[in-house]
């Protein structure tokens, strides 16, 4: 397959086309009458010129090289790569939803608005909070919205000059400090203790009236539930700060506990994680943000409200932080998440978290004999092993590359930073026991290979169309363009 | 790799070399080994004023992006432009060609708070 490695630009021939567009049957204007001459390009753009069959073969070949949840087990820590039920795609393709347009107006969008309204009510009930926006496009976008809400609150209460600090455990998701920083806060890090939880002494030392809030991931990135959460929330509230919960790991507690009940003021959801909408290719996602009553006036506009039997878009919220997304967020993703929740129901959603936690603990206990487990306690949906000292000269990256040969997607590696050579594994509830056993066997086999035949790991993968890629060279000397054709 | 006798070292793994009132600095051999292959170094602006333990440089490796902290207070008077095209110098020669910035020290007494080579070696031995 000589052509297999070619980019689309390296294929085809001048003048070749995948589609021929018929001539226009309405009067046309010459381009230079519509766009000033100086802004028009003088040369033809260098676009690929390929036939339809070349085009189809090219993308089919690429899709065959791809790995996704539909191909195999994908236990990528903190990403919740669960199965995305096909019914989600069915509903998202209902023409009345798929072909609707935001400019058709409220009157003709009643179904869409009702779905948004109902989903908002369900999500609020899941986390036990007062109000919500479904606009943010992803988790980090939700974090940023949460930070803006805190900022706006203190601005309205004349405390913005004083409230500068956001506290963050050193096990936080990497996006948390970035979101707090971009919103204008100063990040102060909290160390973890030997349990892998927030160090309470350090927290107390750092708490004062400059603290605007704390951002917690519960369970945290080690997969451990913050046992002191009630005390943390009480202490932060005592100095007048807010408690933000990064809901990336909601999959392990959904249907079991409600963050609003343990003192959380703001939660973001990742609909593309816990609520099974597709992700992994860069989106689109959705990161709704739910808040307590006192933050409700600041939520983004427009809000979807219900008046009698009618659903309306409400823009009249003078204290709002404004609009965070065009129209009303990634609507197609909302349809899928709504379908997922409605098809599982209450019992189904509790079973999700129950099985996710059971699967992770089963796997953790099988693997901890063969790999270091720095925080050995009951985990939630994920756990973190260390590849350190598995064998002389072997790193976590080598273990990850070797897993590919076993047809298993590698775990999240080198994160969280507090575990050296971290391997972060999240099986999710949608793997079967047989798959968990296969997964464990592969990890165990690799731990033996590391000692007996380390070169097998260092040069992995061996069974792929390409071998070990030089990621250092790629980062240092990126080639971002196809070489120019003569 | 030995830690040069005349340098001073911080707990965050920066080294400082005193050069007539100025301080040349970079990250230690231990730090570069922990980071793995460095692919990018974001240097500070010339003339920037920093306080000791301010984060003022970012180092990206294939594993993670990490902050580098100012070991002493002062003004940035020189940066190692060579790192822009050759970040691998941080791995290959952490204590010499991989230097990152030169600071005009605001308070040279701060050097006394840092560790000697012997103390630093003992410190990393316990990590």
Angle, helices A175-182/A139-156, rounded to nearest 10 degrees: 40
Sheet containing A422-425, strands listed edge to edge, beginning at the edge strand earlier in sequence:
A383-386, A422-425, A412-413
For residues A343, A347, A353, A354, the Cα torsion angle rounded to the nearest 10 degrees is: -140
A238 plus A140 within the same structural domain? yes
Characterize the bridge pairing of strands B22-27 and B14-19.
antiparallel
pLDDT at residue A481 greater than cutoff 80: no
Residue A161 has pLDDT above 80, yes or no: yes
Q: DSSP label at B9?
A: E
Nearest CA in chain A to B83: A476
- Residues A394, A450 contacting (CB under 8 angstroms): yes
pLDDT tens track for A122-147: 999 999 999 999 999 999 999 999 99
pLDDT score of B63 more than 90: no
Give the pLDDT confidence score for residue A465 in this predicted structure: 84
Chain B partners within 8 Å of A471 (Cβ): 62
Domain boundary among A288, A323, A343: A343
CA distances to A214, A286, A292, A412 from A328, rounded to whole Å, are: 28, 11, 21, 32
Whether A120 and A231 share a structural domain: yes
Helix axes A110-127, A331-367, angle to 10 degrees: 30
Query: What average pLDDT does range A61-79 have in this prediction?
Result: 90
A335 and A365 belong to one structural domain: no
Q: Would you tell me which residues 17-76 of chain B have a C-beta closer than 8 angstroms to some C-beta of chain A?
A: 37, 39-40, 60, 62-64
Structure tokens at A202: 């350090």
Among the listed residues A442, A445, A440, the one whose alpha carbon sits nearest the alpha carbon of residue A427: A440
Chain B residues with CB-CB distance to A417 below 8 A: 64
The domains located in chain B, with CATH, are 8-110 (2.40.50.100)
> Do A294 and A403 have their domain in common?
no
Give the domain-ending residue among A65, A98, A118: A65
Is A280 found in the same domain as A253? yes
H helices, E strands: number in chain A: 14, 12
Give the whole-angstrom CA distance, residue A74 versus residue A64: 16
Q: List the single residue in B with minimal CA-CA distance to A474.
A: B39
Mean predicted confidence (pLDDT) in A432-449 = 97
- Measuring CA to CA, how many Å separate A366 from each of A387, A388, A428, A434? 16, 18, 16, 13
Does A298 map to a domain? yes
Same domain (yes/no): A19, A122: no
CB burial string B62-86: b at 16+ within 10 A, e below: bbeebebbbbbbbebeebbeebeeb
pLDDT at A482 over 80: no
Structure tokens at A63: 């899709």
Question: Are residues A274 and A165 both part of a single domain?
Answer: yes
Q: Tell whether the model's pLDDT for residue A485 goes beyond 70.
A: no
Asked if the structure places residue A83 within a domain, the reply is no
Residue among B63, B64, B88 minimizing CB distance to A476: B88
Q: Does A74 fall in a domain? A: no
Measured distance between the N- and C-terminal CA atoms of chain B, rounded to whole angstroms:
17
| Global pTM value | 0.88
Average the pLDDT over B89-101 and give the result. Answer: 97
DSSP character at residue A164: -
A48 and A189 fall within a common domain? no
Provide the shortest C-alpha distance from residue A423 to chain B (in Å): 12
- The pLDDT, as a whole number, for residue A7 is 87
Residues A322 and A190 placed together within one structural domain of the fold: yes
B37, B40, B64: residue with CB nearest A417: B64
Rounded to a whole number of angstroms, the CA Rg of chain A reads 25
Enumerate the residues of chain B whose CB falls inside 8 A of the CB of residue A415.
64
Of A471, A480, A402, which Cα lies nearest the Cα of A443? A402
Q: Which positions in chain A touch B62 (Cβ < 8 Å)?
A: 471-472, 475
Chain A closest-CA separation from residue B58 CA (Å): 14
| % of chain A surpassing 90 pLDDT | 86
- Helix then strand then coil, in percent of chain A rounded to 5, is 40, 10, 45
Radius of gyration of chain B (CA): 13
**pLDDT tens, B20-43?**
889 999 999 999 998 989 999 999
Domain containing A137 equals 88-343
Within a domain: A20: yes
The residue in chain B having the minimum alpha-carbon distance to the alpha carbon of residue A417 is B64
Question: CA–CA separation, A6 vs A437, rounded Å?
Answer: 38
B39 to A414: CB separation less than 8 angstroms, yes or no? no
If one counts the domains in chain A, the total is 3
Query: What's the gap in Å between the CA of A103 and the closest CA on chain B?
Result: 43
| Nearest chain B Cα distance for residue A171, angstroms | 14
Q: Give the model confidence (pLDDT) of A335-389 as tens digits.
A: 999 999 999 999 999 999 999 999 999 999 999 999 999 999 999 999 999 999 9
- Domain membership of residue A93 (yes or no) is yes
Q: Encode pLDDT of A15-66 as tens digits.
A: 999 999 899 999 999 999 999 999 999 998 889 999 999 999 999 988 888 8
Rounded Cα distance between A324 and A303, Å, is: 12
A195 with A301, same domain?
Answer: yes
Q: Is position A480 within any domain?
A: no
CATH number for the domain spanning A171: value is 3.40.640.10
* Residue A468 within any structural domain of the chain: yes
What phi, psi does A183 have (nearest 5°)? -75, -5
Which has the higher per-residue pLDDT, B125 or A212? A212
Q: Is the ipTM of this complex over 0.85?
A: no
Q: Do A157 and A61 lie in a common domain? A: no
CATH number at residue A441: 3.90.1150.10
Out of A415, A417, A476, closest to residue B39 by CB? A476
- Chain A residue with CA closest to B66: the answer is A417
Same domain? A221 vs A322: yes
Element housing A405 (H / E) = helix A396-405
| The two structure tokens encoding residue A400 | 């990850």
Q: Which of A415, A417, A475 sits opposite B39 (nearest CB)?
A: A475
Cβ-based contacts of B64 with chain A (< 8 Å): 414-415, 417
Query: Could you give the CA distance from residue A23 to residue A333 in angstroms, rounded to a whole number?
Result: 37
Q: Is B82 on the interface with A (CB under 8 A)?
A: no
Q: Is A106 exposed, middle or buried (0-12, 13-18, 19+ CB in 10 A)?
A: middle
- Coil vs helix vs strand at A304: strand
pLDDT at B65: 86
Q: A414 and B63 in contact by Cβ < 8 A?
A: yes
SS (H, E, C) A312-343: EEECCCCCCCCCCCCCCCCHHHHHHHHHHHHH
- Count A/B contacts: CB-CB distance under 8 Å: 16
Last residue of a domain, one of A65, A97, A112: A65
The answer as to whether A372 is a domain residue is yes
């Amino acid at each position: 397959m000589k052509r297999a490695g070619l980019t689309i630009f390296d294929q085809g021939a001048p003048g070749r086309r995948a589609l021929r567009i018929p001539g226009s049957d309405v009067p046309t204007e010459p381009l230079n009458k519509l766009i000033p001459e100086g802004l028009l390009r003088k040369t033809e753009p260098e676009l690929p010129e390929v036939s339809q069959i070349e085009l189809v073969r090219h993308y089919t070949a690429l899709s065959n090289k791809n790995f996704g949840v539909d191909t195999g087990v994908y236990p990528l820590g903190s990403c919740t790569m669960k199965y995305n039920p096909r019914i989600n795609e069915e509903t998202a393709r209902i023409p009345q939803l798929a072909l609707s347009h935001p400019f058709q107006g409220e009157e003709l969008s009643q179904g869409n608005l009702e779905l948004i309204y109902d989903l908002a009510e369900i999500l609020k009930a899941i986390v036990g909070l007062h109000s919500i926006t479904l606009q943010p496009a992803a988790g980090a976008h939700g974090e940023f919205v949460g930070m803006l809400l805190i900022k706006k609150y203190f601005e309205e209460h004349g405390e913005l000059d004083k409230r500068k600090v956001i506290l963050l455990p050193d096990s936080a998701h990497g996006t948390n400090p970035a979101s707090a920083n971009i919103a204008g806060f100063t990040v102060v890090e909290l160390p973890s203790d030997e349990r892998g939880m927030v160090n309470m002494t350090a927290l107390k030392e750092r708490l004062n009236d400059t603290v605007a809030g704390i951002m917690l991931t519960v369970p945290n990135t080690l997969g451990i539930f913050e046992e002191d959460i009630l005390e943390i929330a009480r202490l932060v509230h005592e100095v007048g700060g807010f408690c933000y919960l990064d809901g990336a790991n909601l999959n392990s507690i959904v249907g079991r506990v409600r963050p609003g009940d343990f003192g959380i003021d703001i939660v973001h959801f990742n609909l593309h994680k816990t609520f099974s909408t597709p992700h992994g290719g860069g989106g689109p996602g959705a990161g709704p943000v739910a808040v307590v009553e006192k933050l409700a006036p600041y939520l983004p506009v427009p809000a979807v409200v219900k008046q009698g039997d009618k659903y309306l878009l409400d823009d009249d919220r003078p204290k709002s932080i404004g609009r965070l997304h065009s129209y009303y967020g990634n609507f197609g993703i909302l349809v899928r998440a709504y379908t997922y929740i409605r098809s599982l129901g209450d019992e189904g959603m509790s079973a999700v978290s129950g099985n996710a936690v059971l699967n992770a603990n089963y796997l953790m206990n099988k693997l901890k004999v063969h790999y270091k487990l720095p925080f050995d306690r009951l985990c939630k949906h994920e756990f973190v092993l260390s590849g350190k000292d598995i064998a002389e000269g072997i790193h976590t990256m080598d273990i990850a590359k070797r897993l590919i040969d076993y047809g298993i997607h590698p775990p999240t590696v080198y994160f969280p930073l507090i575990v050296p050579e971290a391997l972060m594994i999240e099986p999710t509830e949608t793997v079967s026991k047989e798959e968990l056993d296969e997964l464990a066997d592969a990890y165990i086999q690799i731990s033996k290979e590391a000692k007996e035949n380390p070169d097998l790991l260092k040069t992995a993968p061996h069974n792929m169309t390409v071998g070990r890629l030089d990621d250092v060279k790629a980062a240092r000397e990126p080639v971002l363009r196809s070489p120019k054709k003569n | 790799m030995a830690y040069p006798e005349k340098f001073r070292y911080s707990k965050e793994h920066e080294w400082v070399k005193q050069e007539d009132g100025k301080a040349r600095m970079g990250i230690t051999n231990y730090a570069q080994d922990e980071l793995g292959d460095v692919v990018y170094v974001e240097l500070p602006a010339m003339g920037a004023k920093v306080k000791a333990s301010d984060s003022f440089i970012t180092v990206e490796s294939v594993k993670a992006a990490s902050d580098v902290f100012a070991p002493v207070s002062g003004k940035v008077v020189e940066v190692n432009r060579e790192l822009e095209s050759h970040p691998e110098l941080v791995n290959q020669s952490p204590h010499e060609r991989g230097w990152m910035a030169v600071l005009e020290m605001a308070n040279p007494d701060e050097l006394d708070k840092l560790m000697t080579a012997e103390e630093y070696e003992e410190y990393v031995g316990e990590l």
